[in-house]
Amino acid sequence: MTANAPSNEPVTGLILTGGGARAAYQIGVLAAIADLLPDPAQNPFPVIVGTSAGAINAVGLACGALNFGEAVRRLSAVWQGFHTHQVYRSDWLGVLRQASRFVGHSLLGLGRQLPVALLDSSPLDELIRRELDFSGIAAAVRQRQLRAVAVTAFGYESEHAVTFYQGRATIDPWMRHRRVGVPTRLSVEHLLASSSIPVLFPAVKINREYFGDGAVRQSAPISPALHLGANRVLVVGVSHNPQAEHGSDVIGAVQAAKPPSLAQIGGHMLNSTFIDSLEGDIELLERLNLMSKLIAPEQRPRGLGLNPVEVLVISPSQPLDAIAARHRHEMPAALRLFLRGPGATKISGAGVLSYLLFEAGYCNELIELGYQDAIAQKVALSDFLGLARPPVVQGQPITA
């Protein structure tokens, strides 16, 4: 993990992870940060990195980096009014047509040599083109309100996690084991590729290769931000922190064993793809920080990534599966029928639903949760961003 900026120059990076509809949580966190800033128009994150749905949020911020608060408001308006049909076809005709294509192509070998998936994500293409002005990235870089923005996608042929970044010309590309950084001018295709969940959404061709969701085999999600020059990072996760729970309570809650449904299996696979690598990378970075404290700065070998990196993590205080289960009735009728067989409309299968439920009720509850979780850490956020601490009453920070 190396950076392109001098270690004594504070460069703050923002990392927005993947997770389909779960990325609504990030909007609440960003809204809280905008409220904490003395000047909401000033972008506090020179480096912005995103993966999957987090890539869309990241580029949305970068496109509006000349006015951070306004960029957050624009993203909030989209997420607060979301409906599933804005992301993928959820009408009867669209669902049945895509399902028949998937069966014919994948099981019977019929059809043209085109990428096929269970869902038709063409509406997402239209949404991105309508809502994002990519010229804002170059403008923000020119006016030094943005150092770089990056999105990561997985190359199905090369088997590399490719980070496509746009930023200052002084940032060098990189190549590590199955991880590369490629300078480019970001476009709609990069966002569609990064957010293309395997099997669910079709792969996207960029140049000569097809790409899928960047969370696939992304072993070091924090690394791109460091390569782009960040030396402190704010990570906004989309997974409930299990450390808040007692292991005995979890074990005691397990009932008589039942065969897992396809939705349960799929939920665990999605969690493994989107969450496990990030948590592992954070743990590794914390260990490296501890190691760096044991070595005097003048004795640290150059190029080994031993300079300390400040990390602040904000993640959901409540399990998002449970929230999705409460809103499962919002899923369009055609999709409810389509997902009923695998068990995704049951409480036990809500893991898959938490990634696919792009409906206003669910998204707004996640936004509110993200806002409250960020406000609960307002002192830590203020210290991290170098802001004046919030006022304290009777030894406790004001959270309302």
> In this structure, what DSSP letter does residue 218 have?
-
Query: Do 145 and 43 touch, CB atoms closer than 8 A?
Result: yes
Rounded distance between C-alpha atoms, residue 378 and residue 389, angstroms: 8
Rounded distance between C-alpha atoms, residue 82 and residue 24, angstroms: 10
Rounded distance between C-alpha atoms, residue 123 and residue 133, angstroms: 17
Query: Do 214 and 2 touch, CB atoms closer than 8 A?
Result: no
φ and ψ of 369, to 5 deg: -60, -45
For residue 150 the two structure tokens come to 């990056």
Residues 6 or more apart whose CB falls under 8 angstroms from that of 124 comprise 86, 87, 88, 192, 195
Query: Do 366 and 319 touch, CB atoms closer than 8 A?
Result: no
**Nearest partner of 277 among 367, 154, 368, judged by Cα:** 154
Rounded distance between C-alpha atoms, residue 205 and residue 129, angstroms: 17
Residues with active-site annotation = 52, 213
**63 by DSSP, 3-state: which?**
helix
Rounded distance between C-alpha atoms, residue 325 and residue 168, angstroms: 44
**Would the CA dihedral through 229, 306, 286, 384 be positive or negative?**
negative
